[in-house]
Structure 1
């Protein structure tokens, strides 16, 4: 929150123009009334501005340079710290609720990971521009949003700057940075399911040349599902040393510890959730696992960001980070087989007895990542160039083991009794992975400006080496990827653009027929769109409107060749995704804030060695998603300081999995329309807020990846927050 001099509203014509733009996506919203000169004497001299940086402006993650989003020929969504705070987003899955082309929470309110899809694909996760030490099984390390300044989503291929990545996109989380002026906050939260949190962050100078920041959090919560609880500790320190007027060194640390008790997966049978059950409907709170289940995770990273300006035109930036990730599930009892059908006649025996299994898992990932580049600004022949030339390197080792114990017990779906054998920790008897990856990449980009016309040319060569100690395989893969794009920024603020980009991902294994190692998976995207900012409107109007259409093709996908497990495999798979997206982030006269989006995503498997997959949609990729959130702040009179807001989110149904010879029936999750709301009161030093999501408590099945794998979506959550700012 900042304090600004009082400004009067602008003329009616400008207000109507802004209203018309909002109405293109949402229902008309009444703007603040004009303040006439004779009224000014009755209005307070200052107002407290909430969320002044609500609307993003720069797309650093999309370009590794401070190029404005309006000049970036690709769709990028930036969820700012102000958006995160105002809407009380707790994790990345919640943060994309009002973002186009991105789908989260498809496993409900998971307390461990962020399950996201971007344009049909699982995105790659980055922190401060460096790849996180993702595990083999889950492409997410589940970091806490409170530690970060922003959450950026680059849609479409990002390999031209980042290396191996899926064609749907990637996301990057930026840690809080030290500031030269002292500020901070301490906040306490309490809410649904005994949600308790105490957190704080502070920053400021330690001397003439050194500044710091320190962020800490403690959370203790339960879940919608019975007998599930989670505890989290977080510490994120940072220190900046202004070594010279042209040289800065920032040290960045991150530590997070999680303990989750109980069955967090919520794998429920399709009967009683998505399909009728003669015994009754299954409650979202039912737990088919064990309260003795335990998930432990410790992760930390330490690194630096070094910048040096040789002169006004040439700078050097170096980012390096070492990371360590450890997770362990010594006990993981869950409902694994759906309702029991002992005579295999296709009809459950009693529609209430569910088979249980125990899945234990542990993994350790160690990572070194570094990215070093020169940023060069120059004018030549009437052209403005923003050039980056860089090299990055990753060295990752991960070891994982598991145990799967099928049919350990049964449990009643409607009246569970948690009675298990004494030994619930059978260990990790089976090696899952033991491999190392070394990836190096050289990249360059030139952002060329000719008046209002901009061209972006990016290219990268990657060399990947993977050593698998379990199979003895040593594979080497390389790829060249690139992006070309152009846009024209009219003086009015409209900027049409077009781009073409490619991607690649390493693929482990050998072809079932030839015995040769697989080629990297390859993707390509064509995207065209238009962006608009508020430069043609009077002061007080901030917005970023993006509309895009695209087509993505990915080939060289490995699919199983008619086996229960993907031991025999061929590299013939290909998928295609076509879509259209519209997204608006707007703020008017420091009073009205709007998030709105719509996505149309049409996905299809066009080639596969598994005939059943051909023509199928990609899992967890609904055709339609629409959302709008509007927040209004009162700045005058007796309600000054109060704010109210509300939102509606619609997500269409989507397939839970791909069909196959051993799973011919595909189930779809249910469509949902959810309502969110906020009421708050702000002063210069305090903030009191009450945030509610899915306040009507709509009950819906978010995903069914099989007859025994149904998960309810996130139910109602209401959280009260008290924040002391300083």
Structure 2
């Protein structure tokens, strides 16, 4: 909590704090940490009953003292109180292994100048070793912190103060350590997103191993995401664990300023999340209300770019059971290409209600409006400035307006059984106009597109989790049922516009455009039902067996308005997952898994001839994870083999083909480090051996699938020079992103050269509450082609430099 919140805490008295605020540091009021009622020690006894002399299994990494004491309270069930003024800016060492609680606490407090005492009711009180000014001063009402093991957001300081997050719910739909999940999981924290000043989902994921973004360069209609070689743009982008499936062009677009972290689960995920490609998924976590009052306002500016916004949160009133959060952003901006725009309005109110311990309801709403003018590719072989616009300025937009209402409900039925339900309703309207030059001849007609759509989506996920421990065995059983309904009404027309000169284009206006030929005029209704179960069995704190299974039934009805016909397509599948994790030491784990995926494919969507079959995938994966005790870091290394059948690929902009079988084998390495308060670092490398095993007629068998480079790598590091005297902290950051050669077609005739792009950042802390940052992407303005298909080259974005002035309290 910032200094400005201290007086508010003094007046507020005793406040309930959920797990999203569990790790908040720098509180100036006394803080009380308490474990949830269902916490248990390693021997199965109810936590805390053995007191300060009891034996407990500890796993507390080095971090701020406030955060460490919170985890100590969770892992022992003991109540801990500390004057926030004593704990502020104090670091605690790591504690790991089974030991007495007092021994662990002595380790945490070593070198801090603090000690502890135990009251008659068993409460642990942190106090100074000696009396003096540090032990005197105003006596403040304590703040009570209640841990919630199922909280989706994770420890608060892990997402705002560090590049490293040790837990994630995305890998197993339960609050599990990343070390324990038998899968490769990456987490992009709010701290990392803010440091790099990401402007969209693609930028947020750009430094993640196994993930390829920016596939179509400056064409930013969608958040193009490819994981382990498989396209996840239309099916693999999730928010709060619920899907954002795209059955056409009308898409729900994610505003990164509204997220507090992004989890990337790699590999087949259908046993938990249903229909998806085998590559994995990216799950954005929406910002939640917090119990401590804080906020920020900012403005970002650059060439033809102005953004302003703010984020405030806290209790609705003194001693209220309600907390709130309001996140808002307004933007008036252009992209690098001529006549392109990126205007945004985003407003997201959220409320959390906690009527009693073990019950919590969070209401999440948002309104988003984007007015975008599109960038597009350049005809292959035409040598012009990539920013040259070859469309029509008066017929060039990709505008979306969406509103969403959802909630996240948790209720502890017993000390071992919890029910969770998360739901969201989304409505999106699309207005899409475009003229594209696809021929290298300036006299050839250009192609025109006119698409209007409205999509509504309702998604709900119900989960029961039952936890139990006895002797040396722990079980975590999850049973769930989810439902997703999409109604997508779209009218798409195409046609032509007259040719245009490439060097000095002269625009002809809407009068030269004829886009009246029906392409599609449909109403797609899709209902997806899923029933799943998962068991996580831990033996002797070392062996973790994860087993899962899921049945999916997907019903799709496509009504063609122009001819009055209806196409029905029902598909079903049962997918399985089996994983084994072995904890070599408390900070090193090795794992292996087998998993399956299922993704329906529909004739109405893919526009291919003949029978359309569902895509089915399998994955084999082994890996090792290392989270050292001495530093705040996470390292992962994974090797995998994925196979998927019946994969659709673009042949032209409106025709797709299904390839019989594709295989990708590869190795991923990733490291995230917040080494000290002064150094953050990420490194990532991916090797992908991708092959078209069978394309149905043998034409491309053995070739490399289009748009998949063999090697990708990235690295980011920032270093803070501590302020002295009048000068505040000064942070320098730099990053590099590399993508190796690839092909623009499955015939491997169109070669795409490799490219390396550099990013940079400077942040100056003017005062305790005021920061000024400059972020540059593609620092050296490298001109490069990201991909090429349908005789069009797509160029990456040029250099962008943005300055951000932020005031926080």
The verdict on a shared fold, with TM-score over 0.5 as the criterion, is yes
> Which of 599, 605, 611 is the matching residue for 1:505?
599
Compared CA separation, residues 437 and 98, structure 1 to 2 (3 A): same
* Aligned residue number for residue 721 of structure 1: 804
* Aligned residue number for residue 171 of structure 2: 62
8 Å CA contact retained: 2:268, 2:617 = yes
Question: Any residues of structure 2 matched to 1:307-706 within 5 Å, and which?
Answer: 307-329=410-432, 331-336=433-438, 338-340=439-441, 353=443, 355-380=445-470, 382-406=472-496, 408-422=497-511, 424=513, 426=515, 429-450=518-539, 451-470=541-560, 471-491=565-585, 493-509=587-603, 518-535=612-629, 537=630, 541-557=631-647, 573-635=660-722, 637=724, 640-659=728-747, 666-682=749-765, 683-706=767-790
Separation (CA, whole Å) in 2 of partners of 1:94 and 1:221: 17
Separation (CA, whole Å) in 2 of partners of 1:6 and 1:394: 46
After TM superposition, give the deviation of residue 670 of structure 1 in Å. Answer: 2.4
| 1:182 lines up with 2:293 in the alignment | yes
TM-score by length of 1: 0.85
Three-state SS of the structure 2 residue aligned to 1:86 is: helix
Separation (CA, whole Å) in 1 of partners of 2:368 and 2:249: 20
8 Å CA contact retained: 1:669, 1:704 = yes
Separation (CA, whole Å) in 2 of partners of 1:711 and 1:297: 23
Structure 1, unmatched stretches of 5+, are 11-34, 38-44, 273-280, 341-351, 660-664
Task: Tell me whether 294-303 or 128-137 shows the greater mean CA deviation.
Answer: 128-137
TM-score by length of 2: 0.76
After TM superposition, give the deviation of residue 8 of structure 1 in Å. Answer: 8.8
* Aligned residue number for residue 194 of structure 2: 85
Structure 2, unmatched stretches of 5+, are 3-24, 27-63, 65-87, 94-110, 114-133, 135-156
Write the deviation string for residues 564-615 of structure 1: whole angstroms up to 9, x where unpaired. Answer: 9869x8x771100011000000011221100110000111111112433322
After TM superposition, give the deviation of residue 390 of structure 1 in Å. Answer: 0.6
Q: Specify which structure has the bigger relative contact order, considering alpha-carbon pairs within 8 angstroms and separated by 6 or more residues.
A: 1
Three-state SS of the structure 2 residue aligned to 1:225 is: coil
After TM superposition, give the deviation of residue 428 of structure 1 in Å. Answer: 7.3
Three-state SS of the structure 2 residue aligned to 1:282 is: coil
> Which of 336, 342, 358 is the matching residue for 1:224?
336
Write the deviation string for residues 309-343 of structure 1: whole angstroms up to 9, x where unpaired. Answer: 123221100011111121111x311212x212xxx
* Aligned residue number for residue 241 of structure 1: 353
After TM superposition, give the deviation of residue 684 of structure 1 in Å. Answer: 2.5
Number of residue equivalences: 651
Write the deviation string for residues 401-455 of structure 1: whole angstroms up to 9, x where unpaired. Answer: 211113x211111111112352658467443432211111111111111122111
Separation (CA, whole Å) in 1 of partners of 2:197 and 2:302: 12
After TM superposition, give the deviation of residue 9 of structure 1 in Å. Answer: 12
Separation (CA, whole Å) in 2 of partners of 1:563 and 1:698: 28
| 1:295 lines up with 2:398 in the alignment | yes
Separation (CA, whole Å) in 2 of partners of 1:289 and 1:691: 30
* Aligned residue number for residue 384 of structure 2: 282
8 Å CA contact retained: 1:575, 1:604 = yes
Separation (CA, whole Å) in 2 of partners of 1:297 and 1:58: 34
8 Å CA contact retained: 2:451, 2:492 = yes
Separation (CA, whole Å) in 2 of partners of 1:502 and 1:168: 11
Compared CA separation, residues 544 and 464, structure 1 to 2 (3 A): same
Separation (CA, whole Å) in 2 of partners of 1:189 and 1:673: 26
Compared CA separation, residues 9 and 300, structure 1 to 2 (3 A): closer
Separation (CA, whole Å) in 2 of partners of 1:121 and 1:206: 45
8 Å CA contact retained: 1:353, 1:413 = no
Separation (CA, whole Å) in 1 of partners of 2:500 and 2:230: 35
8 Å CA contact retained: 2:363, 2:408 = yes
After TM superposition, give the deviation of residue 260 of structure 1 in Å. Answer: 1.6
Separation (CA, whole Å) in 2 of partners of 1:9 and 1:381: 31
Q: CA RMSD in A?
A: 2.8
Write the deviation string for residues 36-90 of structure 1: whole angstroms up to 9, x where unpaired. Answer: x9xxxxxxx9xx9995232111121111110011111111111111110011111
Compared CA separation, residues 284 and 558, structure 1 to 2 (3 A): closer
After TM superposition, give the deviation of residue 400 of structure 1 in Å. Answer: 1.7
After TM superposition, give the deviation of residue 519 of structure 1 in Å. Answer: 4.2
